[in-house]
Each structure stands twice: as structure tokens, then as C-alpha cells.
Structure 1
Amino acid sequence: MLGMSLSICVLATRQSRRECCFVAQIPGLKALYDPSDRANMFTDIAMTTQVTADGQAVAVIRDQSGNNHHLTQPIAAARPLYRTNGTLHWLEGDGVDDILTCASPVSAYPFTIAAGFEPLSAAEGGIATLYQNDSNYKSLMVNGYLRAIDRASSTQQAARSNTVVPVKSYAMAQYSSNSVKLETSAYSITSDRYTQTFGTPSDF
């Protein structure tokens, strides 16, 4: 990753484009990660020691969709931190190499990635990426703007917001064949669809 610290407060992936008010009740939900639930976060890969305090590194956050797509990080230096102010709870990256991974929970269009987050700068950082290789991935990320990218599309589709500022927000990126749609609570969408050549995806 290139130079960004990012906080994520909830992350979900679903295999449909239907709307639902409650994340856990979304039809077709493939994965759900909630850092406010410390019972599902662990400081070790074996999942024997739960996260209990602000500032602890997270080795595993369990998928709460029931599909067992748990996010893990065996390398201690690449683990994000659990952070809380007593009311809000989030994961915070170091702006260098922090990342949690699992086998992709989604294998076909259409699907949606939704996340609550706060960029701590407008520099580059990934929020969520479905990764096959550096030339084939789908990513919700910040790079000066909030972007939803389909790198695997033959035309490399993307959608983009206006310039990102540090503010709490949620975003929803909807992917279908050769089409990307982006919605967000904090930023205006300046381009619903454009093409561009993208490089490798970023950690957070």
C-alpha cells in the first residue's frame, strides 16, 4: 500500500443487488465483518485470545454471515489495530502494509461491497478488494477520490467520487458485467462510469 491510514467500521459483501435495511438480513449475504463485536476478533491466528482493548493488533476477524470467510493475517507487523473511543469501534491500518485476507467469497457478477469507513488522509489505500491477481481484481479504495474499480473488466470500469476528506462515511459499490455503480453518504459521485488503466491494488 502507498501511504494511507484508514479506519473501517463495518464491511459486507453480497451476491445480489437487492436493498435491505439490516446488513445481517441482506439476501445473498456472503461475508460480514463487524469490529464492534470483539467476541469475533482475535489477537492470534489460532483464535484462542479475543481482542479486549483499544490498540490491540487483530490477527483474525470472523465472518458473521455464517459462511466462514474469516479474515486473517499471520504476519504480526501487517495486522490492523482494533480502535475504540468507548462508543465507536473500528479497525485502523498503518498506511504501509496492513491487510486482512481470505479466499474470495464472491465468484460471479452481480455483487455488492458495502463498508463504513473514515479515511485518515486522501492518499492511496484499499477498503476491500476481491483479488485474483494484479491484473484481475475488484476494489473499493481511496486514491485522492473514493473509487470502485473493476480491473478484470475488458474496459476496466470504475466509478469515482469528488475529492476525499477525512470524514466518517459509508459506501456501496455495485458490480455487474462491464458496469460499476458507486454510492456514498459523504461524497458526491462525479463519474458514474469511466475507463482508466489501473495498477496493483492497495492494502490499508
Structure 2
Amino acid sequence: MMGLGYDIPAIALRRTATNAAPAPFSPASLSPSVFFDPSRRSGLFQDFAGTISVTADNQPIGRWQDMSGNGHDLGQAVSAARPTYRTDGSLHWVETDGVDDALKTATVFDVANPVTMVLGYQMLSTSGTARVNIAEISQSSTNGMSVGVRPNIDRLQYYSRMSAQGVSATNVASPTVWGHHDKHVVTLQASDGDVIVRLDGEIVIDAPQVLAQQSIAAQPLRVGLGAVTASIPGAFRLYGLQVWTASATQPDEPQIALLEAWMAAKTGVKL
């Protein structure tokens, strides 16, 4: 009987542990270089210094805190060039005006492979045949890499070039799949000699690229206006962004599926 007195509590404890709900997945668990989520409004500030909180729809964003723990915040010192926080009460996004809105980090990232970017976007611009750079790491118009969209047909494009080290341009676009200006989840994975881009879980670009392991001095991550060749202003919505730069462990295929599912929920997309 004494044995039963000890065993019953132990069984109860085991059942509690077994039935406990698993912790919800977070991209932070995969150690991204940067992680931005506009639904976490506590990380949004109207000013560049990060002292005036964003508290309501349609307020400007001067600083967007990095949730990776690495402290690589996006910011905009020029008040007129700050994008806007928007929400419909369910979804949350950062919206650019297509004129001059942009954000960037400090100069902390190499232009090098491998790199992974996962983002949720909706292109609002419908004019222009050059590339609107949604996210890029660049030094100049000919030294950088980016994932962007041709706005008139909402066509995904990837660009990389490093003229400083004699590496010519790789500029590849999805061949037949247009975004129709709807909301989408995009994953870019660029490695030595290859680039793969997925749109809503389906591969739309799988092509060789010239940029291999070359790198230059540290550069910023830019959102919106780009520095690389042919980039133009363009209005879009950004529902979230995660980047794994060359110094980070790149997500594998099962992890990409988790990241895309998480981003799809934030963007309002069914995969």
C-alpha cells in the first residue's frame, strides 16, 4: 500500500508532462541573423532613436527592432522617408509609399553566400519594369545582392554582382509565374553557384549564379529603396522578414517548411 502512495503522484506528474502543449514555433529558434515581425508592435517606434512607440495604425516607423537577439535594428533617420505601420485588426504590415520610403541596418553584413531570406509581401505598385528591391545587402549599385519584384507584372527577381572583385551580374527572374499583386510568401536560398527562390512553397527560380563565396567589407541590410543596379522605388507591404547571412547556420528543407508556414499565417496566405 505504501508503494501505491508513491506511485500515483508520479504517474500524475508523467501524464501532465505528456499532455503539455508544445511551445509554438518561432523563427528565432533557428538563430537567424535578423528577424523582423510587424505584429510585435512593441518593437516598432515612430522615431529613429526608438523613444516614441508605434501605438496605432498609419503611424510612421523610424526604428524596427530586430527580434533575433543580435540587435541589428532597421531604421530611417529621415522623417519623410519612413514607411508606415498598417493593420486591419488581424494582420500587420509595414507599407512603403513607392517614392522614398526605406529602412536599413547598420553596416554589419557581408555580401557573401550562402544566404537565406524568408519574407511575406504584397506588391502595390503596378508601373515600372525595373526591379523594386524588397530586401538587399549591398555596398553600391554594382556590389550587392537582392530579392525584388518587377512591379508591372509582379515578377520575382534575384540579383547579385560584385564588380569590386570582378564578379559579373547574375540577374534571374521567375520565368512564367506572376504574383498578380496578391499577398505571397517568398523564400530565397543562394549558395555557391546556385540560387533557388520559392513562391508560396513552390520553386519558381532554380538557376546558376555567378557570385560564389566572395565578400567585401560589412554592408547594411536594406528594405525598400536599393543601391544595386536598376532598382526603383515601389510601393509594397512587408508582413515579416528573416535573414540568415553567410555566418549563420542556414535552415534546411524541413525548417524552411516551418518558416514558410509561420510566415503564411502572418501574411494571410494559404500554402
| TM-score, normalization by structure 2 | 0.61
Give the 5 Å matches for 1:4-15. none
Other-structure match for 2:133: 126
Match of 1:17 in 2: none
Match in the other structure for 2:184: 169
Greater gyration radius? 2
Report which of the two has the higher share of helix: 2
Which amino acid in structure 1 is aligned with residue 157 of structure 2?
R
- CA RMSD, aligned part only? 2.4
In structure 2, runs of 5+ residues without a counterpart are: 1-24, 211-227, 235-271
- Which deviates more from structure 2 when the two are superposed, residues 155-164 or residues 79-88? 155-164
Q: Which residue of 2 aligns with 1:148?
A: 158
Structure 1, unpaired ranges of 5+: 1-20
What is the Cα deviation at residue 80 of structure 1? 0.5
2:257 corresponds to which residue? none
Q: Whole-Å Cα distance in 1 between the matches of residues 78 and 60 of structure 2?
A: 11
Report the Cα offset of residue 194 of structure 1. Answer: 6.4
Distance 2:168 2:194 in 1: 10
Aligned counterpart, 1:8? none
SS at match of 1:156: strand
Aligned length in residues: 181
How far off its partner does 1:131 sit?
A: 1.1
Query: Partner of 2:114 in structure 1?
Result: 110
SS of structure 2 residue aligned to 1:77: helix
Q: Hey, what does 2:50 align to over in structure 1? A: 47
Query: In the TM superposition, what is the alpha-carbon distance from 1:105 to its structure 2 partner?
Result: 4.7
Which residue matches 1:192?
Answer: 206
How far off is 1:34 after superposition? 0.8
- Distance in 2 between residues matched to 1:31 and 1:40, nearest whole Å: 13
Moved more, 79-88 or 138-147: 138-147
> Is 2:27 the partner of 1:23?
yes
Corresponding position of 1:5: none
Q: Provide the rounded CA distance (Å) in 1 between the counterparts of 2:59 and 2:102.
A: 15
Alpha-carbon distance in 2 for matches of 1:157, 1:127 = 17
Q: Structure 1 residues 82, 58: CA separation in 2 closer, same or farther (over 3 Å shift)? A: same
Alpha-carbon contact 1:80-1:99 (below 8 Å) kept? yes
Report the Cα distance in structure 1 between the residues aligned to 2:200 and 2:35, rounded to whole angstroms.
20
Q: Deviations over 1:114-149 (max 9, x none)?
A: 111111134442210111111011111111411122
On the 8 A contact 2:122/2:183 being kept in 1, the answer is yes
**Contact kept in structure 1, 2:136 and 2:145, CA below 8 Å:** yes
Q: CA deviation at 1:109?
A: 1.7
Look up the match of 1:15: none
Do residues 201 (structure 1) and 208 (structure 2) align? no
Q: State the distance in 2 between where 1:111 and 1:195 align.
A: 13
Instruction: Name the one with the larger strand percent.
Output: 1
Identity of counterpart residues, as a percentage? 34
SS of the residue aligned with 2:80? helix
Instruction: Look up the equivalent residue of 1:45 and give its one-letter code.
Output: F
